[in-house]
Amino acid sequence: MEADFVIVGAGSAGCVLANRLSADPQTRVVLLEAGGRDTNPWIHIPVGYFKTMHNPALDWCYKTEPDPGLNGRSIDWPRGKVLGGSSSLNGLLYVRGQPEDYDRWAQMGNAGWAWDDVLPLFRRAENNERGADAFHGAEGPLSVSDMRIKRAICDAWVEAAQAAGYPFNPDYNGATQEGVGYFQLTTRNGRRCSSAVAYLNPVKKRPNLQIITRAMVTRVTLDGKRATGVRYLDASGTEVTLKARREVILSGGAINSPQILMLSGIGTPEHLQANGITPEHALPGVGQNLQDHLQARLVFKCNEPTLNDEVRSLVNQARIALRYAVSRSGPMTMAASLATGFLKTRPDLATPDIQFHVQPWSADSPGEGVHPFSAFTMSVCQLRPESRGYLELKGPDPRQPVRIVPRYLSTPTDCRTIVEGVRIARTIARHTPLAGKISEEFRPTSALEMEDDKGTLDWARNNSVSIYHPTGTCKMGEGEGAVVDSQLRVHGLTGLRVADCAIMPEIVSGNTNAPAIMIGEKASDLILGP
C-alpha cells in the first residue's frame, strides 16, 4: 500500500492535517489511528469525560513512574485512544495561551512561530459564536461556544476574585489573558466539537483520504536518512507496510510520537541499544524536555446545594438527561470547569503565571463519581513550569507503554509558585460573596493555615495531579536537545516531520488542545508551501 502522505495519529493535530492535505484530490493521504472510531455516544456529550476518561477502550490509561516531586506517588495520565485523540476525551476548554509564549518560541530560533504568525492560524481554525474580530474567527471548522450552564457558586467565585483585587476579563483569548471570567468551550449546539468532528467528519468520504483505525504503528521505515513509510499492526495483529511517497508525519502526541521515533532507531543510541533497538539516527533530544501542568485541587464544602447534589438522585439524573435530549442544555453540556482565572503570584511579573479551573462539583477524579456532600473545586496550576522530565522505552515492544518521568516540582520556582497559588486560592475563598457559601475547607484542611510554606508544599506534593497537558518531547529548535526544526522536519532526516504538542520548546500558558490544532494548521502550511 502506498500514499503521498502518511499521518500517524488522528488526534487534535492529525485530523487537521488529514483535512488540509487531502484537499488536493490528486494527493493521496492515509491517516492511521491506533484506537477505534468515535462511535461511543459519551464522547459527543460534553460531560461525557466522566465516562470516557479512564476507560481503556478509549483512553491509553498511562501512569507516571513514582515521582520524588510528588513524594513518590504515581499519577494518571489519560490520553485519547480514538479518532479525535485527547480532543475526544478532554474537558473541552478553549485556551490559546499568551502571545508571549509564541514570541518566546520565535526568540529561541523558531522563525514563523511568533504570535503575529500563529494568530491567523487560530482565527482560521475557529468558528466562534461571538463572531469574528481582530482575535477570533467565525468561519473555521472548530466551533467555540459560551457556556450553556451557570452555577451560583462559580459566579460567587468570580465576584470574590474581583473583591480580592483581580480584574474581570470577558475574553482571556483576546487582547490580554490576565483576569477572571468564564471559559469558552469547543462545543457545537451543545455537543462536543472534537478535532475529528471539526476536521475529519466533513471530509472522511473523500476518495483520496483513507482512515485506518486499530492501526498501531510499530516503526518508521528508513532508507538511509530518508523516511520511506511506516509499519503497523492492523486489527488482526498482522504487520502491514505502508509506503509514503512524500512524507511521514507523526501526530501521536507528546508520548506516542517520541515512542515511535525511538522504536524506529531514532534517539539516544545507548538507550536504544539497551532496549533491543538498533540505532539508525542519533538524536538525543527524543523523549527529553517533557513538561506538564500540575494542579493543586482545593475542595470546599458548601452550605447550599452544588452540582454534587443535583446528580446523586436517580430522579434528578433522569431530569437532567431529558433536558439535554430536548434542548441540549443543562448540566450535561458542562465542561470540566466553568470559571477561570489567569493571575500573577507577584505584581512584578510581566504576565500571569497561574491558572484557575473552578468547578461547581467535587470528586477525587473524573470517572470516580462526585463526593457525597455539597462542595466545589478550585484548581490552580503553574502556567510555565521550569521542571523538565523525560520518557524512556521499556523495551522493543510497541505495545509496551513508555516510562513517564515528569520530575514535577523539581525547581525552587515551581515549588514557590504552587505554594503561592494555594495561598491565593484560599485568600479568594475568604472574600464575599464566596465566603458566605463555604461551610468548611475540605482539602486542604483549615489547619494548614497554621503551617508554614513547607507544610503547604508538602500537601501539594501529596495531593496534586496532572491537568493532562504533556508537551515538549520532540522539541522544536536548533542545537542540543532539539528534535525538529522550525519547519517541523526531524533533524538529519528527510521525509519525516512531527506535528503535535511534542514540538513545543516550552509549554504554553494554558490548556493545550487549541495550540495542538493550531500546530496542525501550521504544519499543513509548511508541508504544502505557499
pLDDT tens-digit map of 204-262: 999 999 999 999 999 999 999 999 999 999 999 999 999 999 999 999 999 999 999 99
- Rg of the Cα atoms in the chain: 22
pLDDT of the residue at 450: 60
For residue 68, say if its preceding peptide bond is cis, omega within 30 degrees of 0: no
The pLDDT tens digits for 400-410 are: 999 999 999 99
pLDDT of the residue at 511: 98
The letter for the amino acid at 229 is G
* Calpha distance 112→232 (Å, rounded): 33
* Calpha distance 199→211 (Å, rounded): 13
> In the structure, what pLDDT confidence band is assigned to residue 452 with cuts at 50, 70 and 90?
confident
pLDDT of the residue at 530: 74
> In the structure, what pLDDT confidence band is assigned to residue 353 with cuts at 50, 70 and 90?
very high
pLDDT of the residue at 312: 84
User: What average pLDDT does this structure show over 194-207?
Assistant: 98
User: What average pLDDT does this structure show over 361-372?
Assistant: 81
The pLDDT tens digits for 318-329 are: 999 999 999 999
> In the structure, what pLDDT confidence band is assigned to residue 153 with cuts at 50, 70 and 90?
very high
Report whether pLDDT(367) > 70.
no
* Calpha distance 378→157 (Å, rounded): 9
3-state secondary structure 281-308: EECCCCCCCEECCEEEEEEEEECCCCHH
User: What average pLDDT does this structure show over 452-458?
Assistant: 91
pLDDT of the residue at 366: 62
Cβ-count burial 172-207 (b if 16+ within 10 Å, e if not): bbeeebbbbbbbbbbbbebbbbbbbbbbbbebbeee
Mean pLDDT of the chain: 96
Would you tell me how many other CB atoms lie within 10 Å of the CB of residue 326?
A: 9
pLDDT of the residue at 7: 98
Sort strands 438-443 and 465-466 into parallel, antiparallel or unpaired: unpaired
| Partners of 381 in the β-ladder | 295, 355
> In the structure, what pLDDT confidence band is assigned to residue 449 with cuts at 50, 70 and 90?
low
Residue from 391, 366, 392, 390 nearest 377 by CA: 366
* Calpha distance 358→159 (Å, rounded): 13
- Which of 293, 357, 431, 469 does the annotation list as catalytic? 469
pLDDT of the residue at 313: 83
pLDDT of the residue at 445: 82
Sign of the CA dihedral with 262 first, then 264, 270, and 276 last: positive
Assess whether 136 carries a catalytic annotation.
Answer: no
| Partners of 476 in the β-ladder | 484
User: What average pLDDT does this structure show over 431-451?
Assistant: 87
